[in-house]
Amino acid sequence: MPFSYLEKKILKQGYQCLAGIDEVGRGPLAGPVTAAIVMIRSGIIPKSLRAVLVKDSKQLSPKQREKVFEIVKQEPSIEWRVSFVQPQIIDKINIGQATQLAWRRCLNKLNPQPDFLFLDGNRELRDTQIKQKAVIKGDQKIFLISLASIMAKVSRDRLMDKLDQKYPRYEFIKHKGYGTKLHLENLKKFGPCQIHRQSFKPIANI
């Protein structure tokens, strides 16, 4: 997946450091919502990434996502950060606000800051002077958002695998906190634990 028309257009306008933000984990019943930001400083896709498949994380296998993740980690021309907003905060401020918080935390961690920011969806990041554009289905259209979706997905999946060791009876390693049949059955057996989102149905009704 090369730079999109929109990314090329922004580069031609003189912007040097382009970044993309995406998040995963808005819908699960347990675990954090997780955002990632990816910035390429040079305006050129590194050769290491041209040789692998880069697209929306949902369209890649776990093995493909892991391969891209490790390349990005080791690529000196790329800056990336990840942020987790935990269930207790989601319950207090709702998932929409928690997503914005995760985006902002990612951006605040990035140094230097990008010249231009692409976001997945139809909402821009509030209270920032950075030029930005929200793109519906951006994780399928914008190279940098696709990278961000992969970094967020792998980061969250790895965390949920660790949490599976702490709360083994829920079998988080199999469903990552999403409301699968297995997860719902375990919720009925054991009730919610500390990393379940108390404001989400059916947990709110338990």
CA 35 to chain centre: 4
Distance between CA atoms of residues 183 and 8, nearest Å: 43
pLDDT exceeds 80 at position 35: yes
Distance between CA atoms of residues 153 and 83, nearest Å: 12
pLDDT band for 126, please (50, 70, 90 cuts): confident
Question: 56 or 69: whose pLDDT is higher?
Answer: 69
> How much is the pLDDT for 41?
85
% pLDDT > 90, the chain:
83
With respect to residue 106, please indicate whether it lies within any of the assigned structural domains: yes
Beta-bridge partners for 20: 38, 118
The domain of 11 spans 5-160
With respect to residue 198, please indicate whether it lies within any of the assigned structural domains: no
Over residues 175-191, the mean pLDDT reads 96
pLDDT exceeds 80 at position 55: no
Q: Record the tokens describing residue 75, joined without a space.
A: 């690529």
Task: Say if residues 160 and 173 touch (Cβ distance below 8 Å).
Answer: yes
> How much is the pLDDT for 51?
72
With respect to residue 183, please indicate whether it lies within any of the assigned structural domains: no
Task: Say if residues 149 and 25 touch (Cβ distance below 8 Å).
Answer: no
With respect to residue 32, please indicate whether it lies within any of the assigned structural domains: yes
pLDDT exceeds 80 at position 135: yes
Element (H or E) spanning 132, and its range? strand 131-135
Side-chain-side CA neighbours of 119 within 13 Å: the count stands at 19
% pLDDT > 70, the chain:
100
pLDDT exceeds 90 at position 144: yes
pLDDT exceeds 80 at position 56: no
Angle 21-22-23 (CA atoms, 0-180°, nearest 5)? 135
pLDDT exceeds 90 at position 94: yes
pLDDT band for 161, please (50, 70, 90 cuts): very high
Give residue-wise pLDDT tens across range 194-205.
999 999 999 977
pTM: 0.94
List the one residue out of 185, 206, 146, 203 whose CA is nearest residue 31. 203
Identity of the amino acid at 160? M
With respect to residue 118, please indicate whether it lies within any of the assigned structural domains: yes
With respect to residue 71, please indicate whether it lies within any of the assigned structural domains: yes
- Count of structural domains, the chain: 1
With respect to residue 123, please indicate whether it lies within any of the assigned structural domains: yes
Beta-bridge partners for 30: 196
CATH of residue 117: 3.30.420.10
For all residues of the chain together, what is the average pLDDT?
94
With respect to residue 34, please indicate whether it lies within any of the assigned structural domains: yes
How do beta strands 33-40 and 78-85 pair? antiparallel
Residue 20: phi and psi, rounded to 5, are: -130, 145
pLDDT band for 42, please (50, 70, 90 cuts): confident
